[in-house]
Amino acid sequence: MYFTAPAAQAMESSYSVLPLLIVLVPMAGALACGLVRHREHLCHLVASAAAFVAFIMSAILFPLVKKGDVLFAFEKFIGLGLFFRVDFIGLVFALFVSFIWFLVILNSTSFKGQGHSSTRYFIFMLLTLGGCLGVFLTADFFSLFLFFEAMTLFSYVLVVHEQSEEALSAGRKYLFLGIFGGLCLLSAILLLFSQTGTVKIVSSMEALAGLGGVNYLIAILFFIGFGIKAAAVPLHVWMPRAYEFAPSAVNAISSAAMLKAGAYGLIRVYAVLFTPHDVHSGLWGITENLGYAVIWIGIVTMATGAALALSQTHAKRVLAYSSISQMGYILMGIGAAAYLGHHGAVSFAGLTYHIINHAFFKAAMFLMIGAIYLRTKDLNYDRLGGLWRSFPVTAVAFLIAGAAISGFPAFNGYASKTLLHHAIVEALEHRHITSLWFAEKIFVVTSGLTFCYILRLFTTIYQQVEPGRCFTGNRPRAAGGGAHCQQPA
């Protein structure tokens, strides 16, 4: 990042084929899965192994990245070249994404025994992993766009996995919004290339400032493209239905990784591309304007997500809107980082930490909901209740994750939300713009709302809200526990 610029320039870059391998290994794993498709346990094993190898390779990159950026270039690729450059930001993203993906694939034992669609699930999980990791490891926007499109297209197959009418219609919305976003991205990249002659991810404000209105157009197009993926309001409209009808494991990786790919793109655009090289340049003003706009979009997103989460009655929709809300925090952080310019360290730290934290606790919650779904086959609030007896371990885990997401002290969410709060306060104090005072208040209120809907989710699923209303599930041991419950009429 550019507030560490002096230190970064002293580092030396190294060349390694590892970034390309990190992308190719999951794809090779997908091919291997296809070849062993008739033995399902082997297929699951191969998929988990491929994801694990991708994680290990990202870990191996760590000492290399400490010394400097890791580069790899494949210049002959379709005439425009495929360039990888792994710096710390990309590495951190690659690490936690590959780790969580590995855990989710390991968790996917319920997907076996469904004929060819289980093979299809594992194959496309791995292909999407390859695309997602590719997003984080690239050096220029064109390569990023390539992997971004690949990720969108492969994840469509995962969203429509159930092949029900609703899943297909939700998937259609997801796909076409994704393609529309991709085309906006392509237009932005084209404009960038034709105006500045390069699409490398470096700070280019000097080149962009001279373009006048066109650079705002580029910024908007990039925002639409990445924002659709990052679930910024009002571009989030594909999310609730896609989450409701996709399998829970797919929701887990979508929340943990694919939303973050959109956020990663936005970080690269607003905190790298649209920043001037020179720390003391007067062009930081444009970056401030863009950052201010993104702060407000983040605030709107977080508030809308939290308010809508509170009114949902389907557990996965609550979590979907919760993801939207948390992405709002992250968007606000990105905006604050751009707004504060080279004073934006606290904001950048907060948003990156929140990205990691959110990946873990949201993936955990979706996997828990998935486990509950396997038992209860229904996630509507009025059909759930009293499950702490059937799912004691899950209830405790849910408490931990819920405390983290609400920002309880001593949990990771507390640290990242506090940092983000510091960021918005610093943004307020940077230029004392009144609207940011309101922004800070909305931030605080939303954090409260987050606690509210998580509490509601917890009590609805696990606690016995009304006497006589609970779902005993299929466990034979629950016979004793069911004595004081009646089935819903």
Partner 1 sequence: MHFLPTLAVVIPLVSAFFIIVFSRSNVIVSKIIAVAGAILTFLSALAMYPVVGDGSRLGIGTTHLSPPLSFFFQADALSFFMGVVFSFCFMLIIIYSLGYLEHGHAKARYLALIIFTEGAMLGIVMSASLIGFLIFFELMTVGAYLLVIHEEDEVAMFAGAKFLYMSLAAGLCIFFGMVITYFIGGRLDFVPGGYIMASPLARYALLAFLLGFGVKAGMFPVHIWLPDAHPAAPAPVSAMLSGLSIKTGAYGLIRVIHDVYGVDVVRSLSLDRTLLVLAVITILLGSAMALQEDHLKRRLAYSSVAQIGYILLGISLLTERAMFGVLLHIFSHALMKGTLFLCAGAIITQTGKKYISEMKGIGYEMPVVMMSFTLAAVTIVGIPPFNAFISKWQLALASLETGQAILVAVLMASSLLNALYYFPIISAVFMPSGAEYRKKSFIRDKVPVSMLWTTALMALLCIGFAFVQPHWPVLVASRIAASLF
Applying CB under 8 A, the site for partner 1 has a residue count of: 36
Quote the least distance from Cβ 404 to partner 1, whole Å: 36
Say which residue the tokens 């609730």 belong to.
240
Least distance to partner 1, CB of residue 24, Å: 13
Contact between 9 and partner 1 by CB under 8 A: the answer reads no
Q: Specify the residue, 176 or 438, whose C-beta has the smaller distance to partner 1.
A: 176
Burial level of 211, CB count in 10 A (0-12/13-18/19+)?
Answer: middle
Which of the ranges 84-92, 158-166, 255-263, 322-330 carries the binding residues for partner 1, by CB under 8 A?
158-166
CB distance 461 to 384 below 8 Å: yes
Closer by beta carbon to partner 1, 117 or else 313: 117
Helix axes 392-406, 412-431, angle to 10 degrees: 10
> Which residue, 146 or 379, is less far from partner 1 as judged by CB?
146
Shortest spacing between CB 77 and partner 1, in angstroms:
7
Beta partners for residue 138, in sequence order: 84
Cβ burial, residue 280 (10 Å; 0-12/13-18/19+): exposed
List the one residue from 31, 179, 211, 452 that touches partner 1 (CB under 8 A): 179
Site for partner 1 in 420-479 (CB under 8 A): none
Binding characters for partner 1, 126-155, by CB under 8 A (x = yes): ----------------x--xx--x---x--
Task: State the maximum Cα–Cα separation within the chain, in Å, rounded to a whole number.
Answer: 75
Compute the distance between CA of residue 210 and CA of residue 344 in angstroms, rounded to an integer.
24
Please report, for residues 38, 262, 303, 362, 446, the alpha-carbon distance to residue 255 in angstroms, rounded to integers and kept in the order given: 30, 11, 18, 7, 19
Q: Verify binding: residue 80, partner 1, rule CB under 8 A.
A: yes
168 contacts partner 1 (rule: CB under 8 A): yes
Question: Is beta strand 70-74 parallel, antiparallel or unpaired with respect to 82-86?
Answer: antiparallel
Note whether 296 and 439 are within 8 A (CB): yes
Q: Are 320 and 174 in contact (CB under 8 A)?
A: no
Neighbours of 409 (CB within 10 A): 9
Q: Binding partner 1 by CB under 8 A: which of 79, 212, 213, 476? A: 79
Tell which residue, 91, 95, 19, 83, has the closest CA to residue 51: 95
The 10 Å Cβ neighbour count of residue 146 is 18
CA distances 404 to 98, 330, 401, Å, are 21, 16, 5
CB 266 within 8 A of CB 226: yes
Could you tell me the smallest distance in angstroms from the CB atom of residue 176 to partner 1? 7
Residue of the chain from 35, 41, 109, 117 that contacts partner 1 (CB under 8 A): 117
Q: Could you say which residues in the range 349-378 bind partner 1, by CB under 8 A? A: none
Map residues 186-225 to x or -, x wherever contact with partner 1 holds by CB under 8 A.
xx--xx-xx-------------------------------
Q: At its nearest, how many Å lie between partner 1 and the CB of residue 325?
A: 29
Work out how close the CB of 148 gets to partner 1 at its nearest, in angstroms, rounded to a whole number. Answer: 10
Near partner 1 in 87-116, by CB under 8 A? 114-116
Residue 408 is given by DSSP the state -
78 binds partner 1 (CB under 8 A): yes
Report CA 300 to chain centroid distance, whole Å. Answer: 18
**Per CB under 8 A, which region of 71-79, 227-235, 383-391, 457-465 contacts partner 1?**
71-79
If one asks whether residue 160 binds partner 1 (CB under 8 A), the answer comes out as yes
Least distance between partner 1 and beta carbon 306 (Å): 32
Q: Kindly tell me which of 227 and 386 has the beta carbon lying closer to partner 1.
A: 227
Site for partner 1, rule CB under 8 A: 76-80, 114-117, 142, 145-146, 149, 153, 157, 160, 162-165, 167-168, 171-172, 175-176, 179-180, 183-184, 186-187, 190-191, 193-194
